[in-house]
Amino acid sequence: MPRDNKLYSGFVNHDYILTFSIADEESRARLVALCAGPWQGDEVTPGTWEVSNTLSPDQMERAILELMGDADRAAYYYLSDSKRMFRVLLG
């Protein structure tokens, strides 16, 4: 099967640990609003959230990247179907 560069997970809801440092106040506020709202998150620290949502790892990555500037950093962790923990670094 050819590789399509997608991160797959068969879970209905996906649990993530998201940590970020975003300089732009508006972008940071939008990401926090996503975490607190539709992503059903719990704040651990102002820059770290536990979230549970229906977004695939690829969708999660795209949503975060849309809010990041050149100097910003973010990482998220998720559990795959094979019960392996993966870390994805952005920025």
Query: Any idea what the CATH number is for the domain that residue 86 is in?
Result: 3.30.70.240
Q: How many domains does the chain have?
A: 1
* pLDDT for 82: 59
* pLDDT for 1: 44
The H-or-E segment that residue 20 falls in is strand 14-21
Q: Choose among 91, 49, 88: nearest CA to 69.
A: 91
Instruction: Give the domain range for residue 67.
Output: 14-90
Q: What is the pLDDT of residues 8-32, one digit of tens each?
A: 555 567 889 999 999 999 999 999 9
Q: Choose among 38, 16, 39, 22: nearest CA to 88.
A: 16
Instruction: Flag whether 48 is in a domain.
Output: yes
pTM for this predicted structure: 0.79
**pLDDT higher than threshold 60 for residue 60:** yes
Instruction: Flag whether 6 is in a domain.
Output: no
